[in-house]
Structure 1
Amino acid sequence: MNLYVFGRGLCRSFFSTTYRVETTGLENIPKEGPVLLCSNHIHNFDPPFLGSYVPRKVHYMAKAELFKVPLLGRMITAVGAFPVKRGAGDKQALKLGLKILKEGEALGLFPEGTRSKDGKLGKGLAGAGFFALRTDAVVIPCAIIGSYKPFSKLRVIYGEPLEMESLRAAKASSGEVTDYIMKAIAELLHKHK
């Protein structure tokens, strides 16, 4: 068993025993080919929670500072995370994200770029639109709803794939595509609250 599958199993056990977890829409995630999972961001646990129930490996960008923490840095690298320098366009991280998608893998993103302090959905950064436009990835909006208080209900909704062809054909900007993705996340949050 590889380290990712082992780690995912541990995370799933933790979430399923600590919270009353509900997942919706897993059938919307293609079993193969490039996938971009775009979610709201309310807690440090969001990346492992979002990926724990997905039956394929999900790579994440994680803030570069985390990789400097000795044990944590090695662990998150082993489960497919890669560093991004926040606050500036990190060309290396963007290249690596594109490579992951062009190799037919899944990339998980939190377009807001940082956790929401009040739980409300913030403005998305252009990175999500950048990846959506420069690859043929299936874009899945996701919503994490609930509280990470032990034994409370915690839900993750994997929405239906977004129609991207018209935006790609119209040469929409990265910002416009990110706004479109954020609108879809907002609709999921509203529908399932």
Structure 2
Amino acid sequence: MDTTGIENVPKDKPILFASTHANSFYDAIVLHIVFKRYVYALARGDAFKKPIVAKILNVIHMLPVWRISEGRSNMAKNAKTFEKCNELFKQNKQVLIYPEGICKNQTTLLPLKKRGTAAMAFKAWNEDIDVQVVPVVLTYDSFKTFGKRINLNFGKPLQKESFDLSEEVSFSRDFTATLTEKMEPLFNHTFKPVGFLRNAFHYFGWLINFPLYLAIDTFVKKKFGKTIFSDSIWFGVLYLTYPLYLILLIFGLSFIF
């Protein structure tokens, strides 16, 4: 995993990351890894319907945001989430939102929604919160294979001073157009082939972890198939099983050597 334009992310101000959404919950995990500060991620509201799942998502700093397709009656709940985000911004926290409004394995920018991201920026800026809206494009060399490479490309932030806040409808239109212009050029990363000698540890790790990989891959394919959530499910199972696998591996090697 590597980053481009990381210097565009202010270290001492509240951040609203406006990111592409190509790989389900895995996108949020990647941003969590990059930054020392917590990244609070907005996730589709219907994922929070089951209480036990909602508690787990809250623990890993995910907040629900509802779409019209999930029922108009749920749209009022977004006000509570946006208020929570403003409280986080006041504490110089970081929040992640997906302005495309949908998760899809894509390599180009989808049309941005005029709700959500613009509404959050409008609310925060009207409350004199100096939130920086940072565009992000995540590029994966593969969505379905193990051992993928990832690039995070950060653009220069959108700031309050660049917009007219007197009327929300026109603001949303101008904000969305500007964000689109900022994000499109960030789709510029190409992955170069990496030879064995330059990436020997990768192949060594592959050899050591192959039994676990085979077991998880078989389980995920059998239970869930090849879906948009494959990587997220993969990571969740790996997160739970890898410590035990390492213990068993060390225990087994101790008998051999």
Query: TM-score scaled to structure 2, two decimals?
Result: 0.60
What runs of 5+ residues in structure 2 fail to find an aligned partner? Answer: 125-129, 191-257
Which residue is equivalent to 1:101? 89
2:40 maps to 1:59: yes
What is the deviation of 1:116? 2.5
Between Structure 1 and Structure 2, the one with more helix by share is 2
1:162 corresponds to: 158
C-alpha distance in structure 1 between counterparts of 2:161 and 2:95, whole Å: 19
Structure 1 equivalent of residue 189 of structure 2:
192
More strand, by proportion: 1
Partner of 1:140: helix, strand, or coil? strand
How far apart are the structure 1 equivalents of 2:132 and 2:48? 29
Q: For residue 27 of structure 1, what is the aligned residue in structure 2?
A: 7
Give the counterpart letter for 1:138 in structure 2.
Q
Deviations 1:167-186 (A, max 9, x none): 14676512320221122111
Residue 150 in 1 paired to residue 146 in 2? Answer: yes
Tell me which moved more, 53-62 or 92-101: 92-101
Q: Tell me the distance in 1 between the aligned counterparts of 2:50 and 2:6.
A: 33
Equivalent residues, number: 172
Are 2:103 and 1:122 aligned? no
Higher relative contact order (CA 8 A, sep 6+): 1
Q: Secondary structure at the match of 1:173?
A: helix
Query: CA RMSD, aligned part only?
Result: 2.3
Q: Which has the larger radius of gyration?
A: 2
Retained in 1: the 8 A contact 2:99–2:112?
yes
TM score, norm. by length of structure 1: 0.77
C-alpha deviation, 1:71, in angstroms: 5.0
Aligned 1:71-82 pairs, distance under 5 A:
72-82=53-63
Picking from 21, 32, 37, the partner of 1:41 is 21
Provide the secondary structure at the position in 2 that maps to 1:38: strand
Do the aligned partners of residues 168 and 101 (structure 1) sit closer, same or farther apart at CA in structure 2, a change above 3 Å counting? Answer: farther
Per mean C-alpha deviation after superposition, the further-off stretch among 101-110 and 60-69 is 60-69
What 5-or-longer segments of structure 1 have no aligned partner? 1-20
Q: Secondary structure at the match of 1:192?
A: coil
% same residue: 24
